[in-house]
Structure 1
Amino acid sequence: MGTAVEVRSVWMWNLEEEVHIIRHKVRNEKYYWGAFDTEFRLSLNGGNPAEIHPRFRTPNDRYIAIKESIDEGNIRQLGLTLVSAIDSTCVIVWEFNFAPLHFPDEVDPAIMGDNDLINTYFFSQLLRSSGLLENPMMTWIMFHGAYDVAYLIKLANFWNPLPDTLVGFQSHINHYLGNNLFDVKFMTKFTNNLHGGLEEVATALHVNRVVGMAHQAGSDSLLTWHVFGKFKQVYFPHDSGIRYEGVLYGIHDI
C-alpha cells in the first residue's frame, strides 16, 4: 500500500483519451475491480435530508430524500480506482472534474487553471461505451455509497432525474452495476472496533492515504480501495464476503 500512485486528472481536453485507456484496461487487461467516490454539491430545494432522522424512515423514504437533494445538485468530481485483482499492485486512479449544471458561481478559477471542466452529457456518452457499465465481471467498492451510486446512475442516464421509487433505483443499479457491490461503511457494522467515516476506519485499520487529501475524489477512491483490501484481509480472508454484497449504507441500511 505504500507504492506511489499517480492520480490522472481528467478535463474536457483529455476526456476521450482517458476513457479510451479505461476501456482498454477493462476489456483487454481485465481491470475488473473498481472503487469510486464522488464530490458534489446538493440542492436542498426538495427538503433537507437531515430534517428527519434516517432511522425513522423506511428505505424508500431515505431514497426519496437522497433523490430530491441530488436531482438539482451538482457533481464536482468523480474518483475512479481500477485494479486488476484483489491482491494486485497494478492500480490506476482517475479524477474527473465536471462543469456545474447548477450554481455556476461555485467554480474556482484558481483550481481550474487553463483546463475546461467536463460536460456532463458528453461524459455520459463516453461512460456508456467505457466497459465499466453492464459488465458482470466488475466488482464495485465504495464507502457510505448511497450518494456515490446515485450520482453514477445519473451519469449513466445522461443526468436525467433519478427513478421515483427505490424499486426503480434498484433496477438501475442491477442493470448498470450488477450485484457485485460492496459498501465498506455497511461492512464495518459487522465489527466491534470500526466506526466513523473513511478516515477513521482507515486509521483503525492502519491504512495510510497514499496520495492527495480528503475530499479529493481520486484520493478518496484509492483510500476506499485500500481500506476494503485491508478489511478483507482481516475479517474475511477465505470467503467471498457474500453477506456484505449489494447493500448501500444510507438507503438499504443505516
Structure 2
Amino acid sequence: PGIVVRPVGKFRTVQEYNYETLRSNVDVLKLIQLGLTFSDEDGNLPNCGTDRYCVWQFNFREFNIWEDAYASDSIELLRQSGIDFKKNSERGVDSHLFAELLMSSGIVLNENVRWITFHSGYDFGYLLKLVMNRSLPPTQGGFFYLIRMYFPNLYDIKHLMKFCNNLHGGLNRLAEMLEVERFGACHQAGSDS
C-alpha cells in the first residue's frame, strides 16, 4: 500500500528513522499481495506437471481500497499492473489462514530454506506481522532478531549488489543485466518473486 506515515521526533541515526518508518507503515497498513517462487538447490523451478514454470501469487482479501489507508501512487501502479481490488476483497486469500498454513508448511523457522529476496525490508515486515499476528517490535534490533528466528537463511540481493562493481539498479535492471527472463506482469508479486 506504500508509505502513508512519516515518523516525527528525534532519531539518533538514519537507520533508526528508516526502521520507524517501516514499522509505522507496516503496523497501520494491510498486506495486499505476496509472491513466492521455489526452486531446488540448482535453481530449477517447479513446473507442477505442466510445460510452464510455477510461481505463486497470493492476493489477500483484507485490504479494502474504499476504507483502508494507502499511498495513491502505489495503488495506481498495482492497478496498472492488473490488480483487481474489488475481486481481491471478494475472493482473495484470508491472511490469517494463510499465516497458519505458512507456519505449518515447513518453510518458516527452517535454516535449510534459503530466502532469496530483493530490497525486502517491507516484505519481511509484512510477513512478520502476518505470522506473529501482532505489531512489529519497537526497535530495529528486535526486528532483526525476529527475522533471524523466522527466516534464518536470508539473502537480500539488493544489499549484496553493493559489493559487486557492475551490478546496480532495481529488480528489472538486474534481471536484464543477468539475462534472467521475466514471467508474468511487472509489479505483480508472483512475477516479481
* TM-score interval (norm. to shorter): 0.7 to 0.9
Query: What code does the residue aligned with 1:97 have?
Result: N
Of all paired residues, the percent bearing the same amino acid is: 36
> Residues 208 and 134 (structure 1 numbering): CA distance in 2 closer, same or farther, change over 3 Å?
same
> Residues 69 and 87 (structure 1 numbering): CA distance in 2 closer, same or farther, change over 3 Å?
closer
Which residue is equivalent to 1:236?
none
Query: What code does the residue aligned with 1:47 have?
Result: R
The Cα of 1:90 is off from its aligned counterpart by 3.4
Q: 1:191 aligns with which of 153, 159, 164?
A: 164
Structure 1: runs of 5+ lacking an equivalent: 1-40, 50-55, 222-254
Which residue is equivalent to 1:62?
18
Contact 1:42 1:74 in 2 (8 A): no
Query: What code does the residue aligned with 2:188 have?
Result: Q
In 2, the alpha carbon distance for the partners of 1:109 and 1:165 equals: 35
> Residues 72 and 42 (structure 1 numbering): CA distance in 2 closer, same or farther, change over 3 Å?
farther
Q: 1:98 aligns with which of 60, 78, 100?
A: 60
Contact 1:75 1:151 in 2 (8 A): yes
In 1, the alpha carbon distance for the partners of 2:35 and 2:95 equals: 15
In 2, the alpha carbon distance for the partners of 1:88 and 1:153 equals: 27
Coordinate RMSD, CA, aligned: 2.7
> Residues 102 and 60 (structure 1 numbering): CA distance in 2 closer, same or farther, change over 3 Å?
farther
SS of equivalent residue, structure 1 residue 214 = coil
Which residue is equivalent to 2:131?
156
In 2, the alpha carbon distance for the partners of 1:112 and 1:103 equals: 11
The Cα of 1:130 is off from its aligned counterpart by 1.3
Query: What code does the residue aligned with 1:216 have?
Result: Q
Which residue is equivalent to 1:47?
6
> Residues 68 and 94 (structure 1 numbering): CA distance in 2 closer, same or farther, change over 3 Å?
same
Offset from partner CA, 1:39-85 (integer Å, 9 cap, x none)? xx0352x3179xxxxxx944333211111111111211100011122
Structure 2: runs of 5+ lacking an equivalent: 48-53, 68-74
Which residue is equivalent to 2:151?
177
In 1, the alpha carbon distance for the partners of 2:188 and 2:24 equals: 24
Which residue is equivalent to 2:71?
none
Question: How many residues align structurally?
Answer: 171
Offset from partner CA, 1:124-180 (integer Å, 9 cap, x none)? 22222111111111110110111111111111112x1111101111121121111x2
Higher strand share: 1
Q: 1:80 aligns with which of 18, 28, 36?
A: 36
Q: What aligned pairs does 1:1-254 form with structure 2 within 5 A after superposition?
A: 41-44=1-4, 46-47=5-6, 57-90=13-46, 92-101=54-63, 103-104=65-66, 112=87, 116-158=91-133, 160-178=134-152, 180-209=153-182, 211-221=183-193
> Residues 100 and 194 (structure 1 numbering): CA distance in 2 closer, same or farther, change over 3 Å?
same
The Cα of 1:181 is off from its aligned counterpart by 1.0
SS of equivalent residue, structure 1 residue 82 = coil
> Residues 212 and 89 (structure 1 numbering): CA distance in 2 closer, same or farther, change over 3 Å?
closer
TM-score (norm 1): 0.60
> Residues 103 and 71 (structure 1 numbering): CA distance in 2 closer, same or farther, change over 3 Å?
farther
> Residues 123 and 114 (structure 1 numbering): CA distance in 2 closer, same or farther, change over 3 Å?
closer
Which residue is equivalent to 1:24?
none
